[in-house]
Chains A and B, each alone.
Chain A
C-alpha cells in the first residue's frame, strides 16, 4: 500500500505547488518601498511648469500618487475609476505624468477628464526609477508622515479600490 501512497503524496504536493504558482501574477513584484519614506523629488507641475513640487509639500495628509501617461493604454482603462474617486473627494490624487510629452498629456486630460489635484511632470522618468515604476499605471498610497503604505501595479479597478485602497485610506486617516 505504501508504495502507492508515497508517489501519490509526492504527486499531490507537486499539484499544490504548481496550482499556487499558476495563481500568482509574475508581474506583481513586491516593492521594497512599502513602509519606507516616499522618495524625494523636485519636479515641475504639468499645468504650471514654473511651479515645482516635492512630496514634502504634501505632508500631513493621506494621498494617492498615480503614475500615468497619455501613451499608456491601461491608464485609459482605469481612468473612470480615478475620476469617480476624485468626485467622491475621499482622498486627494496626485498624478505623476511619466515619460510623456506635455502637450499630449494636457490634451489627454482635457479629453478624458482630470481627476488629479495636480500632475507632476517626470518627462525623463528618473523619479519613476526612484519609485520602482515598471508597469504604468501604478498607484501608491502615502500616509501623513510621507511613508508609502501600499503600491498597486497595473490599473485600479472598483474592486481593488473598495477592498484594499479605501479601507487603508480610512485606517490611515484615523
Chain B
C-alpha cells in the first residue's frame, strides 16, 4: 500500500509536470541563448521524471538544471563542456543519447543483433519450406494405388 502511494505520487507528479511544461520557460530575453538552452535541455534526462528531458519536465531539479545550463552558456562554455559537467555529476544516464562505450554496447547494437537473428530465422524457415516436397505426406503405396486407378500409366499423374 505504502509503495503504491509512492508510485502514485511520482506518476501524479510527473503528469502534472508535463501538463504545464510544454517548453522550457524562457527566462532571459536573448532568443539565441534560449534556443541553445532548449536544445541542450533536450539532450539531458530529468532524474526525477526519468522519461522526460529537463526541457519537458517541470520537476524542481529540472528547473535548476536548466538554469545551470543557461548560466554556463552565458559564461561562454561549450555544449560539450556542459554535457561533461552533467555526466560528471549524474553519470551517463543523464544523457538522453548515451555515448557508445563498453557498458552501453548492448544498448546500441542489441536491437540490430535481434533483427539480424530474426531475419536469419525467417530466411531459413522460408528456404526449408520451399525445399519441402509437395507429396511428403502421401506414401508410395497410395501413389501406386492411384497410378493403377488411373490406368497403369506412370506419367498419368
Listed in ascending order, the chain A residues whose CB lies under 8 Å from chain B are 26-27, 29-33, 99, 125-126, 128-132, 134-135
Q: From residue A143, how far is it (CB to closest CB) to chain B in Å?
A: 20
- Cβ-closest chain A residue relative to B48: A134
Tell whether, in the assembled complex, residue B91 and residue A31 are in contact, meaning their CB atoms are under 8 Å apart.
yes
Counting chain B CB atoms within 10 Å of each CB, the highest count among A30, A99, A130, A134 belongs to A134
> In the complex, which residues 43-95 of chain B have their Cβ closer than 8 Å to any Cβ of chain A?
47-48, 50, 60-61, 64-65, 68, 87-93
Tell whether, in the assembled complex, residue A32 and residue B87 are in contact, meaning their CB atoms are under 8 Å apart.
yes
Tell whether, in the assembled complex, residue B48 and residue A99 are in contact, meaning their CB atoms are under 8 Å apart.
no
- Cβ-closest chain B residue relative to A26: B50
Tell whether, in the assembled complex, residue B48 and residue A132 are in contact, meaning their CB atoms are under 8 Å apart.
no
B50, B65, B88: the one contacting A32 at CB < 8 Å is B88
The residues of A that contact B88 with a CB separation of less than 8 Å are 32
The residues of A that contact B50 with a CB separation of less than 8 Å are 26-27
Q: How far is the CA of A27 from the CA of B48 in the complex (A)?
A: 8
A–B Cβ pairs within 8 angstroms, 16 of them: A26-B50, A29-B91, A29-B93, A32-B88, A32-B90, A32-B92, A99-B60, A125-B64, A128-B64, A129-B68, A129-B89, A131-B89, A132-B91, A134-B61, A134-B90, A135-B47
The residues of A that contact B48 with a CB separation of less than 8 Å are 134-135
Q: A125-B64, A134-B47 are in contact. Are A33 and B89 (CB under 8 A)?
A: yes
A27, A32, A131: the one contacting B91 at CB < 8 Å is A32
Q: How far is the CA of A128 from the CA of B61 in the complex (A)?
A: 10
Q: A26-B50, A29-B47 are in contact. Are A132 and B64 (CB under 8 A)?
A: no
Q: From residue B94, how far is it (CB to closest CB) to chain A in Å?
A: 8
B78-114 Cβ-contact flags toward A at 8 Å (1 or 0): 0000000001111111000000000000000000000
Q: How far is the CA of A135 from the CA of B9 in the complex (A)?
A: 13
- Cβ-closest chain A residue relative to B88: A32
B15-37 Cβ-contact flags toward A at 8 Å (1 or 0): 00000000000000000000000
Q: From residue B70, how far is it (CB to closest CB) to chain A in Å?
A: 13
- Cβ-closest chain B residue relative to A154: B6
